[in-house]
Structure 1
Amino acid sequence: MSQASNKVKWCLNKAKRELEEIGMHRGLIEQEQDFKSASLHLAKARHNLKAALFFQKNNYSDWSASAFFYCVYHCFLAVLRKFGYESRNQECTIAVMEMLKEQGKIEIDGRFISTLKISQAKEDEHSIIKIREDFQYGTDVEFHRKEEFEKLAQMCKEAIEATSKIVFSK
């Protein structure tokens, strides 16, 4: 069993335990495929990309970093809903994406996955998670490198396109 599959199993058990103990979870549950929810997550991803562009245009580009992060994250949630999962945990979401890719159930560029992985942040200069955390916990209020902003905007557009192909394919 791969590391991603082991993590998915752990996430499923975590959610099951939490649901039994407190009636809510911060893990992963299996449900019926839900194309309506998948479509709504994709709409939310588009909304977050628009928000990132709006923030930049109105001199709040530090908030764009979070919007870029959630754009890609909602793409992932859309894929999970297509395959019958509901996640309330970023690590669990990423693990399912890795597992689905390993199993050949989805074709998606690995950079979309690695950009949200904190463990990859040092290796990827344009890691959305790293940039988001730098803005979230730091004092900068704007992107200083326009090309960095543009690369993230382009990555989000490509993630939305790739997700649309996955969600709406048979």
Structure 2
Amino acid sequence: MATSSRRKKSEKAVQPRKEDAFLQRYNVELLKCIDDMKLKRDEVHRDILTLSEEQHKLEYDVTHLTGQLARVNESLCKKMKQQTECDELLREYEEAFNKLLYGQQTLLANVRRAVNTVAPSVILEESEAASLSSRQAPRSSRMSVSTRAETRADGRRDSRRESRTDYSHQESRAESMIQ
């Protein structure tokens, strides 16, 4: 019995030692897991700090770029307004220039008509005076030929000869053209 009681006691003593070893091993593994978790947490924390820093940089850049974009938009609006004003002024100046050009063309045409109607009568008078004085021709020789220059559509001058017999007809025509 004594041996059996010793055995029981030694078994009881060995049993707590086995349990203590298991507990010790579990504790060591648990501590390793906790240390691994702390390392991972520290790594995640470093990532968080890095990402936070990057976020702040990006926010600063966005703020800076937003301000820059606002300035560019404002400048663009001003330039577009100036361009519109320039376009309007150019359109007005072109219209005024075209009106001026048309007025000059009309004036030139009227002056040419007046010269063509007045100048032949002056030429007739001069030629009549010359012919009367040189030849002492009768009144029937009043018929003379005058040259009138006109501008054709292609811009070249076209000379036509017309005969004028009625001096009073020329004067009335010249007066109507001038008016």
TM over 0.5: no
More helix by share: 2
Which has the greater radius of gyration? 2
Structure with the bigger RCO (C-alpha within 8 Å, sep 6+) is: 1
Structure 2 length normalisation: TM-score? 0.27
More strand by share: 2
